[in-house]
């Protein structure tokens, strides 16, 4: 037998040692936790395989103890395991799939597609090979040097938010409220508002000839929706709402339901964030919605108690703050030298009885850059969206607003604040000061504009013109019950021909061009044109439309256009 050299002998001993510490055995399975021995060199968060190295039974090492480790299952059924089964190290952390091919899919935190039947088989395989890649779910957040201040507005299409509580790309804005106050609907609406940019404008740029194509990465806004422990019916409703309105082609859904393991629910938001980071690092604007982090905290508490970690306040482990902070700190606006992409985080927290001083809500409020508070009192009164502007705040503020919206928004905020101060005075009876009455009259009409139907969005141009009409007093003389119709018919080009001069007609018929100017310039540039247009419309509305609206409660639009 040929004698090994010293180098070969050293390599042989190293491989034997590596193999020895890379394979372990299951000692016991207790309460969804697998205790294994022989994995002395495993690291926290490492993925392991059971039974064989080709097995689909996956676990994650979470506790390192003397002579043993504690593992939770993240793929496969625990009933398939027995004591003395082999456990193999993979030397890898948890990974998921990301890339262009992930858009339109409903996936697990590990990247497995749930709606494969929605795609052509060959196209799905092609996307799987060429348009997806594996990414780690846990990566460090960008450093300070790699970031820029948040200045680009993220338009939600919800009037009260875009006006009073502006959100910027790269911001972390919490959506908080009781059950059935419209938190999920608000998040879905913000995704639907990106439809114009993604399905119309960006599509046209993609269709340009190759030789004249301009780099327009930042114009595609990708959306990632993470569901954590929701009911199956809610997941189906979410997919249907996005698919029906053409939003699923720029959205990926990371889905976990209540029947799945706490470990998989715990991984879901990190997987969603990793998918969004892939797009951010390539210069795109990404939005990730975590629905909701209350369920995520409960899943982590359940997992920690089973792992026999010491409990703290409300039985949550002591590091629950770090669990959420390391997730939300990954939201960022990258420096232009890093591509200039952004990741906007919209976490959702469900409160009990409106108590925002509970443990998890206060934790997440202290991490985020502001919160949108949804009031159950408003929701019970039929106000939708049920946003309480007084308790809501955006710490980025006007720096994440277009100059035109910032200019008109300040005036509306002032008027709305005065209305809130004097709200209810008219119910006391007696004479009311005319100035106070004007505050109340205008405030009620601002409230009307702030109310929107389910999944109803309003574009920037319409928002600014409507707010301009409110501030200039054009709506003060309109009957409160007709205020919604006033804003509805203001932008109807078929009606415009009945009252508007030809030179002002483009403001109604071709708003896209005007909106481009309003993104960069002050509203003062158009104040004269807006004033003349809305003044003509107001006279027409008060003399012709309002009497007919009050008299006819049927199909108003059909009757008025006839």
Give the model confidence (pLDDT) of 516-528 as tens digits. 788 888 888 888 8
User: Is 280:216 a contact under the CB 8 Å cutoff?
Assistant: no
Give the model confidence (pLDDT) of 436-461 as tens digits. 989 999 999 999 999 999 999 999 99
DSSP of 211-270:
GG----GGG-EEEEEEEEEE-HHHHHHHHHHHHHTT-GGGEEEEEEETTS-HHHHHHHHH
SS3 label, residue 117 = helix
Predicted confidence band of residue 214 (pLDDT cuts 50, 70, 90): very low
Residue 211 pLDDT > 50, yes or no?
no
SS3 label, residue 143 = coil
Read off the DSSP letter of residue 471: H
Strand partners, 394: 370
Give the model confidence (pLDDT) of 42-74 as tens digits. 999 999 999 888 888 999 999 999 889 999 999
End-to-end alpha-carbon separation of the chain, Å?
A: 102
User: Is 438:148 a contact under the CB 8 Å cutoff?
Assistant: no
* Helix, strand, coil fractions of the chain, as percent rounded to 5: 50, 20, 35
Residue 561 pLDDT > 80, yes or no?
no
Give the model confidence (pLDDT) of 363-422 as tens digits. 999 999 999 999 999 999 989 999 999 899 999 888 889 989 999 999 999 999 999 998
Residue 212 pLDDT > 50, yes or no?
no
Residue 357 pLDDT > 80, yes or no?
yes
Residue with tokens 């495993």: 42
User: Is 411:471 a contact under the CB 8 Å cutoff?
Assistant: yes
pTM here is 0.91
State the average pLDDT over residues 257-276.
95
pLDDT at 220: 83
Fold entry, domain 404-561: 1.20.150
Residue 236 pLDDT > 60, yes or no?
yes
Range in 79-93, 159-173, 509-523 the model is least confident about: 509-523
pLDDT at 431: 79
Tokens of 496: 């415009």
- Using alpha carbons, select from 165, 170, 187 the residue that is nearest to residue 457: 187
State the average pLDDT over residues 334-342.
93
pLDDT at 410: 93
Burial class (CB in 10 A: 0-12, 13-18, 19+), 349: buried
- Out of 82, 206, 336, 395, the active site residue is 395
pLDDT over 70, % of the chain = 90
For 97-140+148-401, CATH gives 3.40.50.300
Mean pLDDT of the chain: 87
- Using alpha carbons, select from 255, 258, 345, 293 the residue that is nearest to residue 176: 293
Strand partners, 47: 60
Tell me if residue 336 is catalytic.
Answer: no
Pairing mode of beta strands 86-93, 23-30:
antiparallel
State the average pLDDT over residues 194-216.
58
Range in 169-173, 284-288, 430-434 the model is least confident about: 430-434
Residue 118 pLDDT > 90, yes or no?
no
CATH class of 19-93: mainly beta
State the average pLDDT over residues 335-362.
94
Domain map of the chain by residue range? 19-93, 97-140+148-401, 404-561
Residue 170 pLDDT > 90, yes or no?
yes
Give the model confidence (pLDDT) of 297-315 as tens digits. 999 999 999 999 999 999 9
Residue 213 pLDDT > 80, yes or no?
no
SS3 label, residue 72 = strand
């Amino acid at each position: 037998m040929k004698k090994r050299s010293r180098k070969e002998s050293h390599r042989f001993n190293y491989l034997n040692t590596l193999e020895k510490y890379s394979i372990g055995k299951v000692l016991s399975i207790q309460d969804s936790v697998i205790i294994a021995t022989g994995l002395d060199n495993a690291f926290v968060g490492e993925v392991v395989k059971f039974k064989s190295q080709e097995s689909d039974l996956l676990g994650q090492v979470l506790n390192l103890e003397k002579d043993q480790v504690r593992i939770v299952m993240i793929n496969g059924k625990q009933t398939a395991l027995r004591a003395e089964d082999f456990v193999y190290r993979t030397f890898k952390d948890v990974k998921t799939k990301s890339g262009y091919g992930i858009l339109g899919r409903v996936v697990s935190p590990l990247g497995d597609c749930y709606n494969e039947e929605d795609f052509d088989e060959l196209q799905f395989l092609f996307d799987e090979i060429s348009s997806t890649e594996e990414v780690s779910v846990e990566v460090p957040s960008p450093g300070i040097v790699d970031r820029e201040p948040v200045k680009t507005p993220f338009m939600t299409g919800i009037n009260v938010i875009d006006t009073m509580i502006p959100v910027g790309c790269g911001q972390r804005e919490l959506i908080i409220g009781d059950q059935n106050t419209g938190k999920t609907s608000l998040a879905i609406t913000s995704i639907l508002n990106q439809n114009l940019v993604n399905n119309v404008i960006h599509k046209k740029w993609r269709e340009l000839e190759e030789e004249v194509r301009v780099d327009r990465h930042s114009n595609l806004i990708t959306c990632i929706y993470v569901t954590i422990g929701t009911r199956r019916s809610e997941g189906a409703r979410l997919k249907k709402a996005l698919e029906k309105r053409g939003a699923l082609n720029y959205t990926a859904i990371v889905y976990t339901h209540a029947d799945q393991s706490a470990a998989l629910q715990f991984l879901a938001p990190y997987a969603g964030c990793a998918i969004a980071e892939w797009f951010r690092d390539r210069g795109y604007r990404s939005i990730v919605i975590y629905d909701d982090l209350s369920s995520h905290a409960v899943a982590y508490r359940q997992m920690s108690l089973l792992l026999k970690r010491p409990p703290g306040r409300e039985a949550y482990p002591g590091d629950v703050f770090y669990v959420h902070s390391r997730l939300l700190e990954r939201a960022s606006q990258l420096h232009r030298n890093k591509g200039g992409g952004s990741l906007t985080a919209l976490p959702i927290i469900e409160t009990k009885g409106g108590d925002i001083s509970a443990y998890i809500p206060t934790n997440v409020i202290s991490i985020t850059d502001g919160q949108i508070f949804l009031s159950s009192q408003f929701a019970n009164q039929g106000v939708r969206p049920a946003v309480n502007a007084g308790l809501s705040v955006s710490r980025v503020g006007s720096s994440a607003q277009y100059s035109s919206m910032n200019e008109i928004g300040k005036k509306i905020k002032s008027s709305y604040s005065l209305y809130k101060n004097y709200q209810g005075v008219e119910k006391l009876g007696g004479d009311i000061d005319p100035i106070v009455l004007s505050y109340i009259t205008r405030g009620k009409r601002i409230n009307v504009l702030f109310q929107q139907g389910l999944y109803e969005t309003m574009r920037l141009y319409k928002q600014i013109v409507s707010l301009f009409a409110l501030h200039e007093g054009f709506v003060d003389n309109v009957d409160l019950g007709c205020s919604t119709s006033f804003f509805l018919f203001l932008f109807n080009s078929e009606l415009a021909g009945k009252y508007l001069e030809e030179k002002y007609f483009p403001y109604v018929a071709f708003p896209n061009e005007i909106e481009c100017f309003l993104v960069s310039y002050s509203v003062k540039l158009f104040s004269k044109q807006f004033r003349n247009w809305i003044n003509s419309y107001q006279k027409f509305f008060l003399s012709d439309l309002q009497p007919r609206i009050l008299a006819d409660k049927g199909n108003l639009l059909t009757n008025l256009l006839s």
